[in-house]
Structures are given as structure tokens and as C-alpha cells.
Structure 1
Amino acid sequence: MTADSVLTQLVAGAATLSGWELAAVLLGVAYLLLAVRENLWCWYAAFASTAIFLWLFWQVGLLMESALQVYYLGMALYGWQQWRGGGSGNAAAQQRLPISVWPPQRHILAIASVLLASAVSGALLDRYTGAVLPYIDSFTTWGSILTTWMVAKKLLENWLYWLVIDSVSIYLYLERGLFLTAALFAVYLVIVVFGYRRWHRHYRLQCASA
């Protein structure tokens, strides 16, 4: 697929976008921008965006992506609780959860687990369902499951994981005709870079003041 053909498809798809997809996209951008700023309201935007995407992905046959949205709904609630200080009831406690990092061994284990789970679920979907692009769908699903949990725990490396997952997701959504969603994930790539830089700066300040 050439750059010209991708642009043509994006323009053609934009003319047929639903209001629901537009709402999900705008809420998705709001979620990420708020997460970059470590703002508790990111989880409200995440919950609303996820509920809409759940319906959209089911309509186009992305079964694993649909299942992923159910997980996201739960993680929006979990992340909201964690960022508030583990359910302390004090809204100002959202900053009590510090940014942390993983040792290399844990990253190796996490990545290997995602690849293994993707291979297994991809094979099952390919054999027993009519899922589209089952292996890619599985990879973005399992990777997102892990990385969303990392966001809730304020792990710095979540932004690096999102770079990979969002890049693969763009291809997946273009293939299924979700053009604005693909454009959303392209915007995500830019925001992710700024998110990593901001969180890394905050992490260094934490270490310096510890």
C-alpha cells in the first residue's frame, strides 16, 4: 500500500465516518493528553471512549479488540482508584502514586509473555472463528492489556510499549476501514513521545528529591 493510496483511503473514509467514531476519537485524545499530565480525569475520558470503541470494533469483526475494550472499562476504574491513592477517598492523593521503572529482566518476561499469548490466541482465532487478522489483532490486544496496567501503575516504560503497539494498530485499523481511528493512533504516536519525556523528567525529579 503506497502513501498516496493510504491518503486516498483516509479522505474517502472521512466522508463516511460516524458521529460515534468521532466522539470516541476525541475522547481518546483527551484521555492521552490528560494521562501525560498525570491528571485523574484521564480515566473518565478513557471509560467513555472505550465504551464507544467496544461497539465499533464488534461491528467490524475485530473480536479480540472488542474483548480488549471490556478489559479497558475495568482498567479505567482500577486506574482511577490507583491514581487517587488506592481508594483513600482524597482526590488530591492522585499524586501519591509515584512513577516507577522495571528492571530489564521483568521487561524480557513481559514481552515474551505477550508474544506467547498472541501466538496461542491467534492460532485459536484463526482455527475456530472468523476473526480478521487474528495474529495481529491478538498482539495488539495482549500488548495493550499489559501496557494499560502499566499506565495504571505509573510505570515509565509504558510509553515505549505504546509506541510499538500503536504503530501496529495503525495498520490493523487501516485494513478494516477505521480510518479516523487509524489517524487517532498516528496522533497517539506523537503524544506518546511527549508523554515519555514528561514522565521521565518527573521521574528524575522524584529520584533527586528522594
Structure 2
Amino acid sequence: MTELLSGIVNGWQLQTSLELMATLMALSYTVLAIRHSLWCWPAAFVSTVLTLQIMLQSQLFTDALLQLYYAGMAIYGWLNWQRLTKQSHGVPQIVNEWGWMPHLKLIAATGTIGLVMGYLMDTYTETDFAYLGSQISCFAVVSTWLVAKKVLSNWLYWVVIDAASIYMYLQKDLYFFSALFVIYTVIAAVGYLAWRSSYQLQQSNKSGICVSG
């Protein structure tokens, strides 16, 4: 009995330590991304490796698959942000934005894929929250790609994703992650405002150049 209790306590401590480390690295990634720092991507990669182990232990398989994608996107984001900075002559704050129609098409396509993925996960696996987890995963995939592309509206996607994630993680007793995503929801809103300011300044500078020309 003592060995069983000791195993439970040790397992809980390991889980909590992993959650804490992953949380700190994920927060570092988000804050650095808001500041247009290239170093957000190494932080994202470390957070991904830690989170992958936690998701597998919690049988959140759609989230586990998502972490593998994040690892690849961390590498892609690092390379793409370097390229964008070179193209803007060393200015890292370059921000892009899309019109409404591309976003609507992206949302419709992603939502449809999420429903199909949810059905497959619900039917053929024992994963919890198959449909919600699939939608979160699909939109997180898209939103991470938008971050790597430095598209302003990625932060609005994250506000919705983070709010939905709070509920799911609370149901799985992942309290560090629940707290993280409460903070994320606020940070995503701050990120949008910060990047919007950069985008508006960027557009203003372009207008000034055109007028001067």
C-alpha cells in the first residue's frame, strides 16, 4: 500500500513538474512572439517536447498529434521570421494582414476538417473530448501557421482557441494548463493590440513613402 501511494505521489509530482516547465516555456514563447523576437521559436520547441509527454499520459491524442506539428512549425517559424526580417532590411516588426474573405474560407475549411477528424477520433480511438479537441487542434494548427506567416489576425484565432482549451483542461484536471490558457486568453488580446499597432505604423510609413515619392 505504501509503495502504491508513493508511486501515485511521485507520478503526480513528475506530472506537475512537467506541466510547470511546459507552462513557463509556452508563456515565454507567447511573450517573445508579441515582441517579434525570433527566440520565441526555440522556446516553443522546448514547450512542445514537454507537452507531448503530458498529452500522451492524459490520453489526449489529438493534442499529442498537435505537439508534433508544433515542433515542425517551431523550426519553420524560426526560418521564416529570419527570411522576413532580411526582406524588411533588418526590421523584425513586419506584420501582414488578410481581408475578410480569406479568413472566412479558412474558418469554413478548418471547421469542416475538425468535424471529420472529431468523428474519426470518436469512432476509432478512446480519446476524450474528440470533437472539441479536434476543433481546437485544427484551428491551433492554422493559427500557428498564421503566427509563422506573421498575419495580424492570428491573435484573434488564439483568443477563441484558448478560451475553449480552458474548459477541456479543467475537465482533465490539468490545472497548470488551465491557468496557462486563462493567461493566454488575455495575452492573445494584448498580442493583437501590439501587432495591430506595429501594422498601423507600418502602413503609415508606407503611405508616407508614397506621398514623398
* Global fold match (TM > 0.5): yes
1:76 equivalent to 2:74? Answer yes
- TM-score computed with the length of structure 2 as normaliser: 0.86
Alpha-carbon distance in structure 2 between the residues aligned to 1:144 and 1:113: 13
**Contact 1:83-1:93 within 8 A present in 2 as well:** no
- Structure 1 residue 94 displacement after superposition: 6.6
Alpha-carbon distance in structure 1 between the residues aligned to 2:25 and 2:159: 19
Q: Percent identity?
A: 39
Alpha-carbon distance in structure 1 between the residues aligned to 2:192 and 2:161: 15
Given candidates 38, 41, 47, the residue that maps to 1:40 is: 38
1:105-148 deviation per Cα after TM superposition (whole angstroms, max 9, x unaligned): 11111110111011101111111111111000100000000000
Equivalent residues in 2 for 1:1-210, closer than 5 Å:
18-85=16-83, 93=90, 95=92, 98-210=94-206
- Structure 1 residue 78 displacement after superposition: 0.3
1:31-53 deviation per Cα after TM superposition (whole angstroms, max 9, x unaligned): 00000000011001100001100
Alpha-carbon distance in structure 1 between the residues aligned to 2:38 and 2:127: 35
- Structure 1 residue 193 displacement after superposition: 1.3
- Structure 1 residue 203 displacement after superposition: 0.2
Alpha-carbon distance in structure 2 between the residues aligned to 1:18 and 1:84: 35
- Structure 1 residue 151 displacement after superposition: 0.2
Moved more, 28-37 or 79-88: 79-88
**Contact 1:85-1:94 within 8 A present in 2 as well:** no
Return 5+ residue gaps in structure 1 as ranges.
1-14
RMSD (CA atoms): 1.8
Alpha-carbon distance in structure 2 between the residues aligned to 1:29 and 1:87: 23
Alpha-carbon distance in structure 1 between the residues aligned to 2:160 and 2:122: 23
Alpha-carbon distance in structure 2 between the residues aligned to 1:98 and 1:202: 7
**Contact 2:118-2:130 within 8 A present in 1 as well:** yes
- Structure 1 residue 98 displacement after superposition: 2.3
Aligned to 2:209: none
**Contact 1:159-1:193 within 8 A present in 2 as well:** yes
- Structure 1 residue 87 displacement after superposition: 9.6
Q: SS of the counterpart of 1:84?
A: helix
- TM-score computed with the length of structure 1 as normaliser: 0.87
Q: SS of the counterpart of 2:83?
A: coil
Alpha-carbon distance in structure 2 between the residues aligned to 1:101 and 1:86: 14
**Contact 2:163-2:181 within 8 A present in 1 as well:** yes
Alpha-carbon distance in structure 2 between the residues aligned to 1:60 and 1:152: 28
**Contact 1:163-1:189 within 8 A present in 2 as well:** yes
Q: SS of the counterpart of 2:55?
A: helix
Aligned residues: 193
**Structure showing greater Rg:** 2
